[in-house]
Structure 1
Amino acid sequence: MSQSDGEKPPTLGDLAKAAGVSKGTASNVFNRPKLVREEVRVRVLETARGIGYRGPDPMGRMLSAGRANAIGVATMEPLAYLFEDPFARRLMAAIAQDCQAEGVGLSLVSAAGEDDLAWSMESALVDGFILFCLTGAKRLIQRSRERRLPFVALDLGGDDETLSVVGIDNVEGARRAARHLVDLGHRRFVILAMETTSNRFGQREEGEAVEYHASRNRLAGYREVLAEAGIDPSTVPVFETLSDDPTVHAAMEALFSADARPTAILAQSDRIALIALAWLKARGICVPGEVSLVGFDDVPEASLSDPALTTISQPIEEIGRRAVRLLMKISRTPHAAPRRECLDTRLVVRGSSGPASAG
């Protein structure tokens, strides 16, 4: 009874009949094998191979149980980003560890285009999504709602009170970074920003719209403190980067070819800060003697650089763990009110920041 081209695949019922067992016993061989005697289990599996039965359909199992027992992490970033970026890698490790502790599976959903996103989120066998909203937040939220599945966004920047969110206060974190450098006497600042709008980089003009929440809110926090210190924010250059070597290097070349070099760099992520630090070291520019540098995130690499990076620490692992637990909770109580959990940030002072030089 092996399957040939054009024939309907054998079903669980076909297997049970061919093996001479009940349908329940055949099902237990695949789903609860410890309940079946070894000789019966071996006979059923040999029969399955003989007729070409490949096991229960995952979609059918999910529909029967009403749950997939898995959650998805959805992002508009390339899938490699989740493994290459220090922040994303640390966050994903925490999410994976908590999923394992909860006994649920984890599916990664990444799509660069609208059509890919629609297909990926529609076909994912999950009970809900964690939305890694660095870019494309509105599209991720829209697709999650279309699937009518619960979701938790890792982004506190929006004003939609109907969303369940876990994240940090990016404005306050940025204030702490800027205040630290102002208190050290710095007055010549530059800001190295993350993407503010999809796939653009270079120096930003004053008043240009900023699409992405984290970039916008960190920029707002920096500027608020600079204004309080009597520094006109419009005179502080903002270089948007793609958080990679080419765009950060281009920004640094422009900054340090000017007549009046900055003495303080505010980087919107540790990844940007570490690239900038390597660039400065390669050119013999002393950190913090000539220029001080403060990052944002406190990834493991920040404490290992030379000098070690002063940064704003956010509880990356705790964000991941809380997102998993919140999603599990609302997936079981679908009519519960949305929850917004805001975790604290703190300034971690290391060797990359110091007093402004007299020159």
Structure 2
Amino acid sequence: MSPKPTLQDVASAVGVSRSTVSNAYSRPDQLSSALRARIFEAARQLDYPGPDPTARSLRRGFVGTTGVLFTSKLSYAFTDPFAVRFLAGVASAAEKRGTSLLLVPLPAETAQARSAVENASVDGFCVYCAPEESWVLDIIRRRGLPFVTTAPRPDAGDDRYVGIDERAAARSVADHVAGLGHRRVALLGESTLPDAPPGPLRLAGPGDAPHPTTRGRLTGFADALAAVGVGWTDITVLNATGNSRAAAAAAVAGVFTGDDPPTAVLACSDVLALGVLDTLGGRAAEVSVTGFDDVADAAVAGLTTVRQPAEEKGRIATELLLDPPADAAAGHVLLPTELVVRTSTRPLQRS
């Protein structure tokens, strides 16, 4: 097998230097159109494909790619309605700045997850829904790369983030449900505890949920219920093993058939809430159900939920990453949320 043609082969064929050939590909303004045409014709005849993009990126010091870290499988980015909207915002900001995107799912196995972060060829990371972010951020810092998270942290310092006040937003919808008279309440989250089976689980308190988003929402729910005399031990906590309607159905299986079943379910996402409504079927009028995010199907189902701006979150996260503000405080962005009351919640029916 003959050796692959090189940049030097093209330079020798044309009678110019290696840097001149390189400029034909990367700095065309430095050459006349006639000379560039001669170089490209020689490259074509030699079957030279052009400079190696990886090596060229190393020389330039940047790749031209933004990494988006996901906690779940890659398919999550294309099937979860909130993630799809978030990525639309990321893409719109990236397009304006001429950068591409690399979606990096974090495998469940820790060594593989670390390898994914360590080896991703990117200029920086948008960290979307990573569980217990500290080790992820430590790796990114060791690589010397910038990052933006979507989980606000009180100890963020100079780290940039864009998100919502999860606790306050969750409390708003739980206050609404408590105000309707509900006291037997179930809280439904995705992977509330790692490796826990679907259904009821023991959780000492909302602070024991490892995922920062779930932790914030459970805490907000608990705040509202505590205000009306419902302690944590009186709350049913349910675990869904994924963010899908089927996972929600498995989590609530049997919950409404025992003595004193919940009269309300507060879900940590609209998808889970919709799964609860699917399960209830004709009994949906007996149980109030709420979600979180306000995805498109929420309005169709009449779901009471918390609206947050998904696309704006993705757009701002990418802007903070690619155009960092000089003032650290300007890199801490909290977006507004809105309680949207629909027909899935109603006053407690007293027997």
Change (3 A) 1:134 1:158: farther
2:295 aligned partner? 299
User: How far does residue 190 in structure 1 lie from its aligned partner after superposition?
Assistant: 1.0
**1:351 is the counterpart of 2:343:** yes
* Residue of structure 2 aligned with 1:51, choices 31, 46, 51: 46
SS at match of 1:193: strand
User: How far does residue 121 in structure 1 lie from its aligned partner after superposition?
Assistant: 2.9
SS at match of 2:344: coil
Which 4+ runs in 1 deviate beyond 4 A?
32-43, 335-338
1:312 aligned partner? 306
Confirm or deny: 8 A CA contact 2:307 2:337 kept in the other structure: yes
SS at match of 1:218: helix
CA deviation string 1:194-218 (max 9, x = no partner): 2223232332214162211111111
SS at match of 2:214: helix
User: How far does residue 147 in structure 1 lie from its aligned partner after superposition?
Assistant: 0.8
Change (3 A) 1:245 1:68: same
Give the TM-score normalised by the residue count of structure 2.
0.89
User: How far does residue 157 in structure 1 lie from its aligned partner after superposition?
Assistant: 4.9
**1:273 is the counterpart of 2:300:** no
Instruction: Give the CA RMSD over aligned residues.
Output: 2.6
SS at match of 1:182: helix
User: How far does residue 50 in structure 1 lie from its aligned partner after superposition?
Assistant: 4.0
Amino acid at match of 2:253: E
Give the TM-score normalised by the residue count of structure 1.
0.87
Confirm or deny: 8 A CA contact 1:77 1:135 kept in the other structure: no
The percentage of aligned residue pairs carrying the same residue is 37
* Residue of structure 2 aligned with 1:285, choices 278, 283, 286: 283
**1:207 is the counterpart of 2:204:** yes
Aligned length: 346
* Residue of structure 1 aligned with 2:64, choices 69, 72, 86: 69
1:257 & 1:96 partners in 2: Cα distance? Answer: 45
1:13 & 1:119 partners in 2: Cα distance? Answer: 35
SS at match of 1:166: strand
CA deviation string 1:91-145 (max 9, x = no partner): 0111011100122221212230333334433333322111113425233212211
1:226 aligned partner? 225
**1:88 is the counterpart of 2:83:** yes
1:158 & 1:198 partners in 2: Cα distance? Answer: 24
2:273 & 2:46 partners in 1: Cα distance? Answer: 60
**1:339 is the counterpart of 2:335:** no
* Residue of structure 2 aligned with 1:155, choices 127, 151, 155: 151
CA deviation string 1:207-259 (max 9, x = no partner): 16221111111111111111111223311100011223443222222211112
**1:31 is the counterpart of 2:60:** no
User: How far does residue 351 in structure 1 lie from its aligned partner after superposition?
Assistant: 1.9
2:47 & 2:154 partners in 1: Cα distance? Answer: 52
Change (3 A) 1:57 1:120: farther
CA deviation string 1:59-114 (max 9, x = no partner): 32223322223211122321111111111111011101110012222121223033
1:49 & 1:219 partners in 2: Cα distance? Answer: 62
Identify unmatched segments of 5+ residues in structure 1: none
